[in-house]
Amino acid sequence: MSCAGVRCSPMLLHIDTDIGGDTDDLCALAMVLGWPDAEVAAVTTAADEAGRRAAYARYALDLVGRSDIPVFAGADVALGVYRERPTYPDEARYWPQPVVPRPAPHELALDALARSIEAGATVVAIGPFTNLALLERRAPGILRSANLVLMGGSVFPIRKGYPAWGNEWDYNIQVDVESAKAVLEASRPTLVPLTVTVETALRGADLPALRSGGPLARLLARQAEAFAADERMAERLGRTHAGLPDDLVNFQHDALACAVALGWDGVEVREVRLRYSVEGGFLHEREAADGLPVRLVTAVDTAAFADAWLRAVTR
């Protein structure tokens, strides 16, 4: 087996996701399933709505015969903790058939997270951090020694050539500020911030390879085509920012976070200390000598990542 650009030693992941909104959660899940020697302990969903996201995750896993990976519906929008109620694209265009929701008490998702942490899995949160905050509230101190990789953060400015987004664009953190602050202060995580993930891209040029791939790759192609038509990122962003490709479909925020969790070495990581404060309803993360220690991803080899991602999802 060739392992160029990826980690070959077995890696156990727990994926906490808000799959079902745009394409990047599905892109991340498909990549992990195709990554050499990666194992998935469980999948939990955040910002779910009566098990709708859990059903999407279950459908994707079953599509490639991974009924062995359990899926648990986690924190629901009915909890009332989210800044805004998440929306979904047209299911008929994004999914080949109706997907039946899988509602369940969110405590089952917390149980699964606790088991994964006890087993030494790396928990990668690619949605709001609500489940992790609920787990910390239930079992104080459990996150301190957990291996956490969190997709989110806005510490240093975005580089020129990319959208000049402020931290209010940092969805995973800002949609549930209270949970984000609680998790960041209770853990010692690796942050994969928006300011770096904005340099990644799912491209129109990727679609031919996806269309000729397996069932999950073909589902990615279907969703990418629908998302490109809905969001028109190529016109709005790709062709107006020098750092982005002209055929931009979407950013690969979540896939990059999962690659970092899997030990991919195409990123630069700095040890920093951060202080967290809520100002005007938004969470701010700032360097401070008396801050809490964090491993912060500060740069990515975008070409190498694009290659590693496409190879994984089309294996």
Distance in angstroms (rounded) separating the CA atoms of residues 140 and 137: 6
Q: Do the strands 122-125 and 292-300 form a parallel or antiparallel pair, or are they unpaired?
A: unpaired
pLDDT of 5 over the 80 cut: no
Where do the domains of the chain lie?
Answer: 11-313
| CATH number for the domain running over 11-313 | 3.90.245.10
Take residue 122 and report the two structure tokens written for it: 């790396």
pLDDT category of residue 70 using cuts at 50, 70 and 90? very high
Distance in angstroms (rounded) separating the CA atoms of residues 309 and 204: 14
**Tokens 């040890």, residue located:** 271
pLDDT of 187 over the 90 cut: yes
pLDDT of 8 over the 70 cut: no
Kind and range of the H or E element at 179? Answer: helix 177-186
How far are the Cα atoms of 13, 28, 72 from residue 32, in angstroms, in the given order? 9, 6, 18
How far are the Cα atoms of 6, 101, 183, 236 from residue 305, in angstroms, in the given order? 10, 33, 28, 23
Distance in angstroms (rounded) separating the CA atoms of residues 108 and 131: 11
204-235 confidence digits (pLDDT tens): 999 999 999 999 999 999 999 999 999 999 99
Q: What percent of the chain has pLDDT over 70?
A: 97
First-to-last alpha carbon distance for the chain, in angstroms, is 12
**CB proximity list for 64: less than 8 A, separation 6 or greater:** 33, 214, 215, 216
**Tokens 């549930």, residue located:** 176
13-34 confidence digits (pLDDT tens): 999 999 998 899 999 999 999 9
pLDDT of residue 141: 98
Distance in angstroms (rounded) separating the CA atoms of residues 68 and 94: 24
Distance in angstroms (rounded) separating the CA atoms of residues 148 and 1: 28
Distance in angstroms (rounded) separating the CA atoms of residues 197 and 202: 11
Phi-psi region for residue 116, left (φ > 0), alpha (ψ -120 to 50) or beta? alpha
Q: What's the pTM?
A: 0.95
91-138 confidence digits (pLDDT tens): 999 999 999 999 999 999 999 999 999 999 999 999 999 999 999 999
How far are the Cα atoms of 71, 114, 141, 189 from residue 74, in angstroms, in the given order? 9, 13, 20, 21
